[in-house]
Amino acid sequence: MNRIAPKSNEAGLLPFLPARNLAQTAVPWIPLGEGKSFKPLRFLSGNRGFAELLRIEPGTVIPLHRHSGEIHAFNLEGWRELCSGELIGPGDYVYEPAGNIDSWKIVGAVPCVIFVTVNGSVEFLGPDNTVMRSVSGDTLMEIYRQYCTMNSIEALDLVD
């Protein structure tokens, strides 16, 4: 990740902050469970959310879950079938408002890779809609840091 000191632009306006670039090989795919891994891109400070690449293997089911904030998901590769029966393929975009409850599964013969931005957290639901597990930016950041430590990889500062 390159960091460049803030500077003024050509018009002589106030200094601006540079973009924070992340090469595709800068962070590894990190397992989240059977058939599911993620590549963290950014953790929003104050546990506000996160941006990630999500890779899910064919046949994997993402169980019933609720979003506390809005979600933006752009399919890069592969196909998934939403609980509504809709098929989402490469180049398709899905917006999920805060409070949305859904589940989905990966269909086809190739993994599904999705660029996802999550505001808030994702609550995985059990019987009677009880929260069985909650995943937030802080949760994923800790998983990322533990993975890096266990694999002797330098953890990058991915917090905004």
pLDDT grade, residue 12 (50/70/90)? low
> Tens of pLDDT along 137-155?
999 999 999 999 999 999 9
Identify the pLDDT of residue 16: 72
Query: What are φ and ψ of residue 122, in 5° steps?
Result: -115, 125
- Round to whole Å and give the CA distance between 70 and 80: 19
Cα dihedral sign, 31-32-37-43: negative
The CATH number for 30-150, chosen from 2.60.120.10, 1.10.3720.10, 3.40.50.720, 3.40.309.10, is: 2.60.120.10
Domain residue ranges in the chain: 30-150
* Percent of all residues in the chain with a pLDDT value above 90, rounded to a whole number: 82
Identify the pLDDT of residue 38: 98
Identify the pLDDT of residue 2: 53
Identify the pLDDT of residue 7: 54
pLDDT grade, residue 3 (50/70/90)? low
Who wins on pLDDT, 56 or 127?
Answer: 56
pTM for the full predicted model:
0.87
Cβ atoms within 10 Å, residue 28? 15
> Tens of pLDDT along 34-90?
999 999 999 999 999 999 999 999 999 999 999 999 999 999 999 999 999 999 999
Average pLDDT on 111-140 reads 96
Identify the pLDDT of residue 6: 52
Average pLDDT on 98-122 reads 97
User: How confident is the prediction for the chain on average, in pLDDT?
Assistant: 92
Identify the pLDDT of residue 81: 98
